Amino acid sequence: MGKPTGFMEFERVNTGNRAPAKRVGDWNEFLVQINDDNLKDQGARCMNCGVPFCHTGQNIGRMTAGCPVNNLIPEWNHLIYEGKWKEAIERLHSTNNFPEFTGRVCPAPCEGSCVLGINEDPVTIKSIERSIVDRAFDEGWVTARIPLQRTGKTVAIIGSGPAGLACADMLNQKGHQVTVFERDDRIGGLLMYGIPNMKLDKKIVDRRLELLKQEGIMFKTSVNVGRDITAEQIKKDFDSVVVCVGATVPRDLKIPGRSAKGVHFAMDYLRGATSSLLSENEFEIDAKGKNVVVIGGGDTGNDCIGTAIRQGCKGVTNLEIVTQPPEGRAASNPWPQWPLIYRTDYGHAEAAAKFGDDPRTFAVETVEFIGDADWNLTGLKTIEVDWSKPRPGSAPFSQLEGTEKVLEADLVFLALGFLGPGPDFVEAFGLQTDQRSNISANMTDFETSVPGVFAAGDCRRGQSLIVWAIREGRDAAEVCHDYLMAVDA
């Protein structure tokens, strides 16, 4: 531990953010670095826990508790307290390939399971993690690690999101020749096109990608495996294949008026916005001067809010069908479970600063989209719901008669989560799927129904956290390596 009495002496200091009213005028990252003295104090708050739940990485109550990549959090907290930054990045990289990504966009289940968090504010683990890796890059401590020997084995990684990149990194370091295929025009998957620039600057992504290229990983963009190149050709050209294509099929809202022009999937909107920024083109879907409604909460919905505000929307409303969470843990949500509490994310804060109020409305169901004579979206109908009165054989809630409303809307973004990787890709490889349409492969061997083909990340486990994707990519690489080395044994 850092300082035995640190958790009693120092209060939690959160990561600083630029003022919401000012940052909405640009697309730069909104995070502000904590100074070294404050970071030392935050590291000192880390307790000498008998069992540090922060790095356990397990599911409790169907929610993540602790860090899925098993980051050695107490150890690098202690090193930061002692000012040993170089040792801290070495310890951090021993479990996490990309701490610069998780330190920015991970929701930090580690903090939800911090022992100090039982009766005090938890340690600012996420801020310390980001500070360690950012300083390491600034100091030049993060350099290319080129393998000294090659095994002669070849691996195809399909998908370049966090799971694919982590898997590629691990297999490359073991000496295999790795080629990553990406259907988009840029490498990064979710990191590049699914997360807005103000949350994860693409220069941060490109910085890591350049290192991976220097280390010998080959990247091929704009290649849709199963269409531009057959699955059979991939299996013929490579000794093994790891599928990391993510969960890309969005959940739809099939209600009357769904075909109205102006109703879009959230990820189509976010992808187009980032693509337009990177190519310096006009926005494919522009919210400027329009009334925007985002249906669905979570990170994706929040990112749509932040994006629409930066585009200059007239107003934004966020509809959530669930009830508003409590301010503190409910009795049914004990530590070390992830705390299901009311949070104000960056997009909510920006909407409040821009328009004077939090954009969220809870316990509301959208029942119809409304359009004009040319079927351009003009609004939507909603009704309040009561979760204490489920409908037998139907929804776990009931509609409250007399609460119908019509909201004006020019654009609607559906942020309702994702299903599996898509049937076309699955059929191309002849892969079996589970009841949730994810690729069937357990967490022990990650092997699919096709020998020599493995699966990891959201395409296997379903929509999840970036840190779970990295964990699965790392574990799948270990199994794939064993498979490759056993082929000629």
Return the structure tokens found at 328. Answer: 């503190």
Q: What DSSP element (H or E) covers 218?
A: strand 218-220
Residue 14 pLDDT = 83
Residue 444 pLDDT = 87
CA distances from 61 to 55, 150, 194, 334 (A): 17, 43, 27, 10
Statement: residue 249 has pLDDT above 90: yes
Banded pLDDT at 186 (limits 50, 70, 90)? very high
Segment 60-69 shows an average pLDDT of 89
pTM, two decimal places: 0.96
Q: Which residue has the higher pLDDT, 55 or 151?
A: 151
Segment 121-147 shows an average pLDDT of 96
High-pLDDT (> 70) share of the chain, %: 99
Inter-helix orientation angle 298-311/266-279, to 10°: 50
Give 397-434 pLDDT, tens digit per residue.
999 999 999 999 999 999 999 999 988 899 999 999 99
Segment 273-296 shows an average pLDDT of 97
Segment 212-236 shows an average pLDDT of 96
Statement: residue 489 has pLDDT above 80: no
Q: How many other CB atoms sit within 10 Å of the CB of residue 2?
A: 24
Residue 62 pLDDT = 79
Give 292-333 pLDDT, tens digit per residue.
999 999 999 999 999 999 999 999 999 999 999 999 999 999
Residue 375 pLDDT = 96
Measured distance CA(219)–CA(147) in Å, rounded:
17
Domains of the chain, CATH where assigned: 6-139 (1.10.1060.10), 154-248+419-487 (3.50.50.60), 263-414 (3.50.50.60)
Residue in the structure block whose two tokens are 């990406």? 182
CA distances from 111 to 10, 294, 397 (A): 17, 28, 32
Measured distance CA(350)–CA(306) in Å, rounded:
7
Return the structure tokens found at 132. Answer: 């360690």
Banded pLDDT at 1 (limits 50, 70, 90)? low
Statement: residue 60 has pLDDT above 90: no
Taking alpha carbons only, the member of 321, 407, 404 closest to residue 370 is: 407
Banded pLDDT at 16 (limits 50, 70, 90)? confident
Residue 145 pLDDT = 96
Segment 74-103 shows an average pLDDT of 96
Average pLDDT, the chain: 95
Residue 393 pLDDT = 82
CA distances from 302 to 11, 277, 290, 360 (A): 28, 19, 17, 10
Statement: residue 48 has pLDDT above 90: no
Banded pLDDT at 450 (limits 50, 70, 90)? very high
Taking alpha carbons only, the member of 103, 123, 101 closest to residue 112 is: 123
